[in-house]
Amino acid sequence: MRSGFVALIGRPNVGKSTLVNRVLGRKVSITSDVYGTTRHRILGVWHAPELQVVLVDTPGLQPPRDRLGERMARTAIRALSDADLRLHVVEAGRAPGPDELAIARRLRGTVLLVVNKADRVDDAKLWIQRYEPLYAYAAAHAVSALNGRGVEALMADVAARLPEGPPYFPPDTVTDRPDEFLAGELVREAVHALTRDEIPHHVAVRVESSSHEGGIWRIGVHIIVDRASQKPILLGARGERIKAIGTRARLAIEEVFATRVFLSLWVQVRPGWRDRDGTLESLERDERATWND
């Protein structure tokens, strides 16, 4: 039996969450091209005969913008130091810059280079060659998390490098997060999709209530903004935007969990929540809370 923790590290939007979802064959991390989509350390557990791989999806590393960003950076760095194996995920078609150099300086131990979005370029090997000088990588893989190209070979290499040991989770575990957490994340994903640059950098989402009644999962969610002027933007004219967010999120939750959902959304203003340690600590303590910045 082989088992271990594998941390994915990289800049924002290189496709770490998409790669985790691809390996698992289901969604445990939301995806978006908006900066800072992943706010937490999220575990995805991949099971195979005599093998358990615990994939650790982390926030994208780049210079923090506020205290929330500082906490996110610490989360990613802790995951990096605690892992048995590390995947440095980069983006084909984008040359190494200062952010990649800063990440490379933090790398330790056995690291695999993963050049994602290989489907977007003609010669993925060229991009491997551009990134290889950053660190003494144990191996390099070109993959497409979007269509699955190269992912099987990557995971075979990962499996071969993990130490012998017992499983960390029961065989039916896919993630360490409760269902409410992912439901909140899917609301956040809907906010990303339908507000784009207007709201996402100033929103937190918290699941306030959850119950199952008569085959229906009833979920109440607070969407928190940090400026009073953002609330009407999120609500939209005659409530049309918040209604669209709710519909999109509900359908996504129903698809992931294969159950009927009744979703209620409220918008709440908490000025400057991203820079308030008390608010951030409160959200961090709540297993069902999710950040969106």
pLDDT tens, position by position, 130-168: 999 999 999 999 999 999 999 999 999 999 999 999 999
State residue 227's pLDDT score. 86
For residue 176, report the phi and psi dihedrals to the nearest 5 degrees.
-85, -5
For residue 138, report the phi and psi dihedrals to the nearest 5 degrees.
-70, -30
Domains located in the chain, CATH noted: 2-161 (3.40.50.300), 179-292 (3.30.300.20)
State residue 83's pLDDT score. 87
State residue 290's pLDDT score. 47
Tell me the β-bridge partners of 140.
113
Whole-angstrom Cα distance, residue 30 to residue 187?
A: 10
Would you say the pTM of this structure is higher than 0.85?
Answer: no
* Residue pair 108/120 in contact by the 8 Å Cβ criterion: no
Tell me the β-bridge partners of 237.
none
Phi-psi region of 28 (alpha: psi -120 to 50; beta: other; left: phi over 0): alpha
Which of these, 141, 115, 70, lies nearest to 284 by C-alpha position? 70
State residue 57's pLDDT score. 86
State residue 58's pLDDT score. 81
Q: pLDDT 10s digit of each residue in the chain, 293 long?
A: 999 999 999 888 899 989 999 999 988 876 665 555 555 668 899 999 999 999 988 876 654 455 555 555 556 567 667 789 999 999 999 999 888 888 888 888 999 999 999 999 999 999 999 999 999 999 999 999 999 999 999 999 999 999 999 999 999 899 888 889 889 889 988 998 888 766 656 688 889 899 999 999 999 999 988 888 889 988 999 999 999 999 999 999 999 999 999 999 999 888 876 655 555 555 555 544 443 43
Q: Which residues of 74-84 are buried (b: 16+ CB within 10 A; e: fewer)?
A: ebbbebbeebb
If you write DSSP's letter for every residue of the chain in order, what string do you get? -EEEEEEEE-STTSSHHHHHHHHHTS-SS---SSTT---S-EEEEEEETTEEEEEEE-PPPS--SSHHHHHHHHHHHHHHHH-SEEEEEEETTS---HHHHHHHHH--SSEEEEEE-GGGSS-HHHHHHHHGGGS--SEEEE--TTT-TTHHHHHHHHHHHSPB---SS-TT--BSS-HHHHHHHHHHHHHHHHHTTSSGGGEEEEEEEEEEETTEEEEEEEEEESSTTHHHHHH-GGGHHHHHHHHHHHHHHHHHHTSEEEEEEEEEE-TTGGG-HHHHHHHHH-TTEEEE-
Tell me the β-bridge partners of 264.
220
pLDDT tens, position by position, 64-88: 455 555 555 556 567 667 789 999 9
State residue 157's pLDDT score. 97
Whole-angstrom Cα distance, residue 77 to residue 81?
A: 6
